[in-house]
Chain A
Amino acid sequence: MGILDFLRRKPEPSAGVAKERLRIIVAQERSTRGGPDYLPLLRNELLEVIRKYVNVDVEAVMINLERDSGHEVLELSVALPDIKPAAP
């Protein structure tokens, strides 16, 4: 890099980063949009109950609300950890 380049240094091209970040956050927010406000709360409480019995990860509980013509389906899936052989 020459001296002149240093003097004329410009901000880094960052539009690509902005686009990628926006793409992800917008997709995420759209997927939860329109759902009832209690979904995140429900998810947390379920997680607490499940954790009383099984040690699952925060990401293990998935709640999905799907709309079909006229009715809504609340889908709940819990990924249980791999079963380890019981200790002797």
Chain B
Amino acid sequence: MTEIIVVTSGKGGVGKTTTSASLATGLAMAGKKVAVIDFDVGLRNLDLIMGCERRVVYDFINVVHGEATLKQALIKDKRNETLFVLAASQTRDKDALTQEGVEKVLDELAKEGFDFVVCDSPAGIEKGAHLAMYFADHAVVVVNPEVSSVRDSDRILGLLASKTRHAERGDTTVKQHLLLTRYNPVRVEAGEMLSVKDVEDILGISVVGVIPESENVLAASNSGEPVILREDSFAGQAYKDTVARILGEERPLRFTEVEKKSFLKRVFGG
């Protein structure tokens, strides 16, 4: 059975695309057959983060409109045999994406034997965001420890509970996973930033992962390779843990406490 995961947040710039890229890559590395779809029609970006921007020939809208087959539009990842990217269209037509069109593509992916489809949602709560979450079985809600992001994510959690196919049918609920990104333990300890517990208390759900703020995230997107591939970076390792938890494994949270520097490190740096 194909599981559909939406990566969403409400607020822009919190790390949805970074998360989609790393989540999809992580699932593929775990041996799953994965498609990751950019739902941000008009503002395509997932291709850049995945490093396949020069190989986009056909896009999501082309498939919806029957101008290309799914096989033609799926871009095979250069690092993982079982990972495919479906780019967003750069058209300015906001109505290019329809519920029937999205359903058709998702059904076809299911027939092709995909284990997971990761839907990278645009920011906001408009049509694109609605369609990205509508068919989801799981939702990864990306949140920064910051007031506007936390408030927006609560709004998104409300929409997931009411405006999805599962909610409308009343069969099951969309499984919600809260992912806290751009976390800075030093600032949390200084009382300048909301802590993991603060965010969990306010939203009433526990986190599936905490991604520390890291220069590696920018470096990874600069070079077009998902940060999860940087095994030496804390952010990459935290994404690996998160993927494992989504697959049902239990792993303790890491990188949420201030690293105690040794005397030598303090003197010589590092």
Q: Is the CB of B191 within 8 A of A26?
A: no
Q: Which of A12-20, A37-45, A55-63 contacts B (4 or more CB under 8 A)?
A: A12-20
The dominant DSSP class at the A interface is: helix
Q: Is the CB of B190 within 8 A of A10?
A: yes
Q: Does B202 make an interface contact (CB < 8 A)?
A: yes
Q: Quick one: which of A16, A26, A33, A34 contacts B202, CB cutoff 8 A?
A: A26
Q: Is the CB of B147 within 8 A of A15?
A: no
Which residues of chain A come closer than 8 Å to B190, judged between CB atoms? 10-11, 13
Q: Is the CB of B192 within 8 A of A15?
A: yes
Q: Quick one: which of B151, B162, B193, B201 contacts A15, CB cutoff 8 A?
A: B193
Q: Quick one: which of A13, A22, A29 contacts B191, CB cutoff 8 A?
A: A13
Q: Give Cα distance in the complex from A88 to B166, angstroms.
A: 66
Q: Quick one: which of B151, B192, B193 contacts A26, CB cutoff 8 A?
A: B151
Known: A26-B203, A30-B158. A18 touches B147 (CB 8 A): yes
Q: Is the CB of A29 within 8 A of B147?
A: no
Range of interface residues on chain A?
A: 10 to 19
Q: Is the CB of A19 within 8 A of B192?
A: no
Nearest-neighbour CB distance to chain B for A31, whole angstroms, equals 11
Q: Does A25 make an interface contact (CB < 8 A)?
A: yes
Which residues of chain A come closer than 8 Å to B198, judged between CB atoms? 15, 18-19
Nearest-neighbour CB distance to chain A for B152, whole angstroms, equals 11
Q: Is the CB of A16 within 8 A of B191?
A: yes
Within B148-195, which residues are at the interface with A (CB < 8 Å)? Answer: 150-151, 154-155, 158, 162, 188, 190-195
Q: Is the CB of B195 within 8 A of A33?
A: no
Q: Is the CB of B193 within 8 A of A22?
A: no
Interface size on B, residues (CB 8 A): 19
**Count: A-B pairs, CB below 8 Å:** 48
Q: Is the CB of A18 within 8 A of B194?
A: yes
Q: Is the CB of A14 within 8 A of B203?
A: no
Q: Is the CB of A23 within 8 A of B194?
A: no
Known: A15-B198, A34-B158. A25 touches B191 (CB 8 A): no
Which residues of chain B come closer than 8 Å to A23, judged between CB atoms? 201-202
Contact flags B54-87 to A (C-beta < 8 A → 1, else 0): 0000000000000000000000000000000000
Q: What are 26 pairs between A and B in contact, CB < 8 Å?
A: A10-B190, A10-B192, A12-B192, A13-B190, A15-B188, A15-B191, A15-B193, A15-B194, A18-B146, A18-B147, A18-B194, A19-B198, A19-B202, A21-B147, A22-B151, A22-B194, A22-B202, A23-B201, A23-B202, A26-B150, A26-B203, A29-B151, A29-B154, A29-B155, A34-B158, A34-B162
Residues of B within 8 A of A (CB): 146-147, 150-151, 154-155, 158, 162, 188, 190-195, 198, 201-203
Add 14 more A-B contacts to A14-B191, A22-B150, A22-B151 (CB < 8 A).
A10-B190, A11-B192, A13-B192, A15-B192, A16-B191, A18-B147, A22-B147, A25-B151, A26-B154, A29-B151, A29-B155, A30-B158, A34-B158, A34-B162
Among all A-B residue pairs, the 8 with the closest Cβ atoms = A13-B191, A19-B198, A22-B202, A33-B158, A26-B154, A15-B191, A18-B147, A15-B194
